[in-house]
Amino acid sequence: MNRARVLIERADRPLVAAILLGCLGVAELVVRADGDPSVGILLGLGATLPLALGRTQPVVAATVVTVATLATLVTDRRLTAAALLAQVASLYLLGRYGPRRAPAVLLLPFAGYAVVTAGRAPGATVRVFAVVLAFFAAGAVWLGRAASARRAATETATSRQLIADNRLELAARSERARIARELHDVVAHHISVVAVQAETARLTTPDLPAEGARRLVAIGDTARNALTEMRRLLGVLRDDAATAATRAAARAPQPSLAQLTELLDEARAVSGASTRLIVRGPAAPLDPGVELAAYRIVQEALTNVRRHAPGAAVDVELRYTGGALHVCVRDNGPGPRGAPGTGHGLLGMGERAAMVGGDLHAGPHPGSGFVVRATLPTGAAEGVA
């Protein structure tokens, strides 16, 4: 059955099947030699050849085949095996590709004929064909409808998966571009300091050898070229259609952990719930990129709490160790309603942790609530002006 269905569904198969079944039907009628074969041959060809239109014009093909089949039965002629196969195939293609109500209209004559002939004397081949054909026709339509529904469900699931993947990829690209812009501001500061210090050293060092002055000039030129190249590459990531407010925000200094209390005050004012900051271990100067990543992770975690657990109390913990900064944001809300770790906000936090060589884990907290934990390696702050 599956192999036959595959042959029918192939784009070039209905035409080949129609020609083959037509030839087989004519051969069967000639072998039978039941009375005048011309009418039987005409009806046999009418019941097989329209199958060639089964994919492109399923209603027309099924209608012509059905009319020829019913005419054969009404005239008390025996259906050929080829006509029977063509009728089943045409109704399958109608259920597969045609309108929903068309099969019901074409099944009614078979059901009616089966009922009418069932009350007559049994044993006639025509009546047996009528009853069998009624069941086969209904089964063919059901198979066609099932295949159509299965294909539609597969296409819908594929489309939804593609849309979800595209949205996730776009969100990741957007977040990476924003991270790149922010890190540019941090790195550009250090490179600018290198250029300024090299120029200052060249101008203020007494009795500086010519070779030393030349090298300091080279250092300053290299730093300035690096800044130019960074800005040129970053221009690919910037949105030319950004609003004035977005441009102004991009020019503002990047936040650090020094502004964390202001962020918590703002979150406390908006939610009206308790928001605590817990600091463990001796606070140490960190690389600006690490501070920026920690600030943004806390900011996004607080935003997620306001969105998914409004009114929940939040604890923000910073734990300084010898080689890393551990950030933990935990709320006492109801916890995640869906699969954890699939949102765009969590994706962005993970990207930020990875950009500074750290990692991030998020999920439900034992008991209640949701927790975000990040481990960020601390960078040496030496040489930062």
Residue 316 maps to which CATH number? 3.30.565.10
155 plus 182 within the same structural domain: no
384 within some domain: no
Number of structural domains in the chain: 3
- Sheet arrangement for strand 359-364: 275-280, 314-320, 324-331, 370-377, 359-364
115 and 197 in a single domain? The answer is: no
Q: What are the DSSP calls for 238-284, one per residue?
A: S-TT--HHHHHHHHSPPP-GGGHHHHHHHHHHHH-S-EEEEEES---
Q: Which domain holds residue 172?
A: 168-246
List all residues 6 or more positions away from 86 whose beta carbon is below 8 Å from its beta carbon. 17, 18, 21, 25, 47, 48, 51, 65
142: helix, coil or strand? helix
Q: Is residue 383 part of a domain?
A: no
> Looking at the structure, do residues 22 and 148 belong to the same domain, yes or no?
yes
Please indicate, yes or no, whether residues 261 and 334 belong to a single structural domain of this protein.
yes
Q: 272: alpha, beta or left, given left = phi > 0 and alpha = psi -120 to 50?
A: left
30 and 151 fall within a common domain: yes
pTM of the complete model: 0.46
Whether residues 229 and 172 share a domain: the answer is yes
pLDDT per residue as tens, the chain (385 positions): 455 555 445 545 777 877 888 788 777 777 776 666 777 778 778 778 888 887 778 888 888 888 888 887 777 677 777 887 887 888 788 777 777 676 667 777 776 776 666 555 444 555 555 566 666 666 667 776 677 677 777 778 888 888 888 887 777 777 777 777 666 666 766 777 787 788 778 778 888 888 888 888 888 888 877 777 776 666 655 554 444 444 544 455 677 888 888 888 888 887 778 889 999 988 887 888 888 889 989 988 888 888 888 888 999 999 998 889 999 999 988 876 554 444 567 877 888 888 888 999 998 888 788 999 999 998 544 333 3
Q: What is the pLDDT of residue 279?
A: 92
pLDDT recorded at residue 242:
46
**pLDDT, position 238:** 55
pLDDT at 111: 66
Say if 382 falls within a structural domain: no
Six-digit token string for 53: 């239109």
Domain shared by 265 and 215, yes or no = no
